[in-house]
Chain A
Amino acid sequence: MPTYKLNVDGVVRDVVAEKDEPLLYVLTDALKLKGPRYGCGVGQCGTCTVMVSGQPMRSCVLRASLVGNKPIRTLDGLEKNGQLHPVQVAFVDEQAAQCGYCANGWVMHAVALLEKYPKATDAQIQQNLANVQCRCGTQIAILRAVKKARDNMTITKA
């Protein structure tokens, strides 16, 4: 199997992967990350989302061999110096998880959106997160949490 260097959460990691192997399996099977999770394998639910060069990507349909040296950010690496990311803090405040299996997709999409557009409108939030799935029906709390994160992040920056 070919070997690759992947830049995951700021650390360059050597991984062995099949040429057609999706990034998801490299992250979960080889690197034992717990944030991205298998949900659908066809890029529809968002549960496997990571950020590649700041863009939210569905790692279940992204070949690891095509990532190159682009920086990959994962849920596992969002916390800095023991501090949760403001989006994570808002999810905790609003208790925006039930089983939590899909939480990775919501948090990663929200981080990607709000870091790029800190003043994202409610409509933009809704549009950007509409193709993330939650089976428990936590969307009401999730929407509250993302809006709260935006408001908090805007205040912090101001």
Chain B
Amino acid sequence: MNILLLNRRNFLQTQVALVVGASGAVIVTDAAAQAAAPALLGPPPTALDTWIRIAADGSVVANFGKMDCGQGLDLAIAQIVAEELDVALDKVNVTMGDTRLSPNQGGGSASTGLRTGAIPLRNAAAEARRVLVEAAAMKLGVEAVCLSVENGRVFLMSDSAKSITYAELIGGKDFSTTLEWNKEIGNSMNVKGIAKPKDPSQYKIVGKGFKRKDIALKVSGKVHYTAHIRPDNLLHARSVRPPVAGAQPLSVDDASIAHIKGAKSFLKDGFVAVVAETEWNAVRASRSLKVKWSDVPGPFTGGEENVYEYIRQATPTASNAIPMFGGKKAWDDKPTLAALASSAKVLEADYECPFQSHARIGPSCGVVDVRGDKVEIWADTQKPHFLRMGIAKFLGLPPENVQVKWMHGAGSYGRSDADEAPYEAALLSQAFARPVRMQWSREEGTAWDPKAPAAIITMKAGLDANNQVNGWLFKAKGFNGWDVRFTGESPEHVLVGMLTGHKKWNAYNFNVPEESYKFNNHVHWWETVPPYLQEASPMRTAHLRAPQEMQTRFGQECFIDEVAHAAGLHPVDFRLKHLQDPREIEVVKVAAERMGWPNCAKGTATDDVYTGWGLALNAGYGSFAAVACEVEVNKQTGRIWVKKVSIAHDCGMIVNPIGVRATLEGQIMQGISRALHEEVHFDEKCVKSVDWTTYRIANLNDVPSEVDIVLINRPDKPIGGAGEPAIVCFPAAIANAVFNATGIRIRRYPLVAERVKKALA
């Protein structure tokens, strides 16, 4: 079994195969983690009609089982479908995330939107074209091989007047054609027909840049976000959180909200909420409701000042040599430690990575209508089919009775709070027998969403007398990457579930870097530490864009620079010496050249600022990214400005270069944000990051003056993921640039001004 194929969110689909597979790999998690793959929910993948339909007017509907999180994925899918069907791009309408219509492709996940998500659409569209051409051949009384297709019109190549359109052939009717399904659910779902998709050399639409159509709607208030869904007879809801994490509500005082018209409280076990007829009265009631909370000690021992000490001291809950997607793998650090003992020079460094919040710009919102035993859900979840399964279980209903309609929502970037409000709305709608719209507050969206885990990356390397690396040790020790799961497939993965008696699972995971560099006596592994608070914690940890990769690559890619300097080599030359994959070598070279390498000087300084540049590499999701940053460090304030960014990006075959470029621009700013600003503040009792001043993100003042993106297109390679590989690089690239500029190594992100100022002093 090829471990490289086992990307994180394939886990769900691959674990059964892993347990029984010939590799002998065994998963070491608890029973919940080993639960059987879910039943197929959603329409049958074996039906061509599930994927592709031709409407009466000849337009094409493509049902896509993922959704667009703001990168224009639906446009790329439309390009692929239009290409295979030989129809105009604007004739293709892509539907997403409706459990009634969409095949269960697992939802938004691991940058798989195109690299796995597009494959069944491509195959289905090719098969649809084959079926239509054969039908045309029958109608026209000719051989199918004599026919060609243009703009949805099938014509005889020798006499183009003899033709028939797709609309005439099948418009509004079913294909009733069967596809071969690989029996997989989620990211790896695939189907095939008889037809072979086009060779990339024939492409006319795929590979060309097209602009998204949804942006005109989004900038003119015409898009329905979840927050806009207001069925008749709607109740507005707000939840009420404890002042100390882990405190339980003992009683609620309904008299405290009696003055608010129509307001009612709701208490079930540990969950407190209010409902009202208008949204503002729900807000008022949530602020007015008096709740008696149990007296509990603050669970966050020592608060944020103590977090790295907590990690260092903690007894690991689990450890492994690779992420758990690949199964259990042992490691042996003895050869490395023996080699280090004999090294002429040994380098050691710890790198510290913070808790970060998804902090969606619009906090969680869900609208749910429970009518008897039938449930309608509107949500901006990344994974509608899993949410359907989870809420069905939560309400004690069969999943067939529950439908989820994905709506546009605030960008979510992983296992955010998006699945939380829909669960809460479902519970309230069942209780009040009315449709309920639950809207989380800003405070909840930042303080109570699942967090990226804080971690320490420990690195050690030995150099022999000739400055050759003779030992390399990587250890990541941090909070659990899977404290709650990356899907809302079961109530124990959301707050309201845990608050109403669904015990959190006990599966553990973290990450290690890809094997980009080849060193002798190389060892790497990860260890996870216990959560501060076992159940319903505001600091529960989960996937945030490129989960645990920013942390692990921060350690790895900073340490590469440190070892290079110790070995007397430029960090770029050192990388090139140890890299194996030609695609990695190329992105490093290209990004470095944009900064002037190999003829680059050391950092420079004026009276006010130090200037320097640095680089980091990341491979993953079938793609390769090198990010080079030129930074200015203000001598007085410590403020860092990333003045220039160069990205060299190879994601295999590019479907839409405009889309890839936009996605990378987004990663530049979110990457700068996470590298320079973002850290969750908390004391012993609760999370103190509750808004945009206490959880600072990048703003216009952080925009670089020069953005330079080099797209390396490889039409001969499979489509790689473009949503995550580059963002991983930013903390390391910036810290390396700061070292180049100032000679000072900062081994902790975010590189906030005060921290940098202290380091410079």
A-side interface residues toward B, CB under 8 Å? 1, 17-18, 20-22, 25, 28-30, 32-35, 37-42, 44-45, 47, 74-76, 78-79, 84, 88, 91-92, 95-104, 107, 126, 129-143
Contact = CB atoms under 8 A, between A and B. Distances in A.
B669 A96 contact: no
A33 B222 CA distance: 9
| 10 closest A-B pairs by CB | A137-B669, A100-B218, A98-B70, A35-B221, A99-B70, A137-B670, A99-B411, A135-B361, A40-B442, A101-B410
B577 interface: no
A135 B697 contact: yes
A42 B442 contact: yes
A42 B363 CA distance: 13
14 contacts: A37-B227, A75-B220, A76-B221, A78-B220, A79-B220, A95-B212, A98-B411, A100-B408, A101-B225, A131-B699, A134-B669, A137-B669, A138-B669, A143-B703
Contacts of B23: none
Contact of A140 (B212, B222, B228, B707): B707
Given A41-B442, A133-B361, A100 B670 contact: no
A35 B236 CA distance: 20
Contacts of A132: 699-700
Nearest to B216: A92
Contact of B220 (A1, A88, A96, A141): A88
Given A39-B442, A44-B693, A102 B361 contact: yes
Contacts of A126: 700-701, 703
Contacts of B279: 25, 28-29
A118 B212 CA distance: 28
B584 to A, nearest CB: 25
B692 A133 contact: yes
Contact of A44 (B218, B261, B658, B691): B691
A interface: dominant SS: loop
B692 A140 contact: no
B204 interface: no
Interface stretch (B88-96, B134-142, B397-405, B659-667): B659-667
Interface in B212-249: 212, 214-216, 218-225, 227-228, 230, 236
Contacts of B221: 33-35, 74-76, 104
Contact of A139 (B410, B691, B699): B699
A115 to B, nearest CB: 16
Contacts of B701: 126, 130
A137 to B, nearest CB: 3
B25 interface: no
B668 A140 contact: yes
Contacts of A20: 284
A138 B707 CA distance: 13
A101 to B, nearest CB: 4
A40 B281 contact: no
Given A100-B408, A102-B361, A136 B225 contact: no
Given A1-B261, A131-B699, 20 more contacts: A22-B280, A25-B280, A38-B363, A39-B361, A40-B442, A47-B362, A96-B215, A96-B219, A97-B215, A99-B70, A100-B214, A100-B215, A100-B218, A102-B361, A126-B700, A130-B700, A132-B699, A135-B361, A135-B697, A138-B666
Contact of A18 (B280, B662, B667): B280
Interface string B348-365: 000000000001111100
Interface in B446-483: none
Nearest to B278: A29
Interface of B: 69-71, 211-212, 214-216, 218-225, 227-228, 230, 236, 261, 278-281, 283-284, 359-363, 408-411, 439, 441-442, 658, 662, 665-673, 691-693, 697-704, 707
B665 A134 contact: no
Nearest to B236: A29
Contacts of B280: 17-18, 21-22, 25, 29
Contacts of B697: 133, 135
A99 B409 contact: yes
Contacts of B278: 18, 25, 29-30
Nearest to A77: B221
A96 B665 CA distance: 10
Contacts of B669: 134, 137-140
Nearest to B670: A137
Contact of B361 (A47, A95, A143): A47
A14 B251 CA distance: 40
Nearest to B222: A34
Contact of A135 (B211, B220, B281, B410): B410
A92 B70 contact: no
A101 B362 contact: yes
Contacts of A135: 359-361, 410-411, 670, 697
Contact of A134 (B69, B281, B361): B361
Interface centre among B220, B666, B702, by most A CB within 10 Å? B220
Contacts of B658: 95
Contacts of A91: 215, 219
A100 B223 contact: yes
B662 A95 contact: yes
Contacts of B362: 37-39, 47, 101
Interface centre among B224, B409, B668, B669, by most A CB within 10 Å? B669
A37 B362 CA distance: 8
A136 B211 contact: no
Given A34-B222, A38-B362, A126-B700, A99 B69 contact: yes
A38 B282 CA distance: 14
Contacts of B284: 18, 20
Contacts of B703: 126, 139-140, 143
A101 B216 CA distance: 13
A79 to B, nearest CB: 6
Nearest to B211: A95
A27 B568 CA distance: 64
Contacts of A79: 220
B215 to A, nearest CB: 5
Nearest to A26: B280
